[in-house]
Amino acid sequence: MPSTHRHYKITRKELKQPDEFTSFFESAQEFFLSNLRQVIISAVVVVAAAAIFGATYWYERRGDRQAGDQFYTALSALSAKQYKSAEEQFTKLAASEPHRRLGKLAQFYLGCAYLGDNDLVRARDSFVAFVADEHDATFANLALTNLGVIYERMGEYAKAAGAYQQASSLTGPEEVRAQLGVARMMAKQGHSDAAVALYRAFLAAHPFAPQRQEVVESLAMLGASPTAAPAAPPTGNIPVVIPSAPTTTSKH
């Protein structure tokens, strides 16, 4: 039985035609070889950038660890009231790491160390420098209150009032203390009426504050009561106006 299978005969011309995959591969190879230099340069740039990023990250983390160690060592000295040692360490940290958060906080705690050592001038300068570049309300509140304390100790009551006023406008742990500081500075400057008004406003806003008794005593020293006295009744003949009876119209 004759076979029904038909064989396809490949011609010489078809044998000479390149395979599609082979053509694509050869084109890609040619492109790669012609652009080999650019490819190598690009690869080197990527590797170099990754190396720089890794080195920078490692350097920053290493700097953070070192700054942290220095900061807590100085803070331990401050807690132990070793003020000279704390001053020296905080000074170094603030100078060497001015752009790190711990370096900036070192300026605040340096002021605390000077204040503990009763070095009012240096404490003042440290807190002034800290407040000038501080955006955290909590630490700004603390620093300004400490500035108020320093100015008050130095007898500069107007400056103390200004520092306390700024501190009282910020939400923080010393907000109430700063409010009372403003009233106290008014009294020390001889502005009794202003001091009385501030003390009374404080009692009205904080009726159950722990400082209530202190405020009441301060008012007593100023010759004032905790609340404003009611207005005195008018004296003399008081005209009495008797309303006239309404008129009615009778119906017939």
The contacts of residue 196 (CB under 8 Å, 6+ apart) are 219, 222, 224
Residue 249, in any domain of the structure: no
| pLDDT-flagged residues of the chain (< 70) | 1-60, 62-63, 228-252
- State the CB neighbour count (10 A cutoff) for residue 199: 24
**Does any domain span residue 6?**
no
Query: What pTM did the predictor assign?
Result: 0.67
pLDDT value of position 190: 96
Closest CA to 124 of 133, 134, 114: 114
Residue 243 covered by a domain: no
Return the pLDDT at 8.
46
- Whether residue 236 is contained in a domain is answered as no
Other CB atoms closer than 10 Å to residue 149's CB: what's the count? 21
Containing domain of residue 128, as a range?
22-221
Q: Residue 43: its pLDDT value, please? A: 57
CATH number of the domain encompassing residue 143? 1.25.40.10
The reply to whether 195 falls in a domain is yes
pLDDT digits (tens, 9 = 90+) for 220-247: 999 999 886 544 444 544 343 333 344 4
DSSP category for residue 224: -
**Residue 67: what pLDDT?**
82
Q: Is 201 within the bounds of a domain?
A: yes
Q: Six-digit token pair at 191?
A: 């502005």
Residue 9 falls within a domain, yes or no? no
Cα-Cα-Cα-Cα torsion 189, 194, 195, 198, nearest 10 degrees, comes to -140
Provide the domain count of the chain: 1
Lookup: tokens for 96: 């060497």
Report yes or no on 235 lying in a domain: no
pLDDT at 64: 77
Q: What CA–CA distance (Å, rounded) separates 21 from 23? A: 5
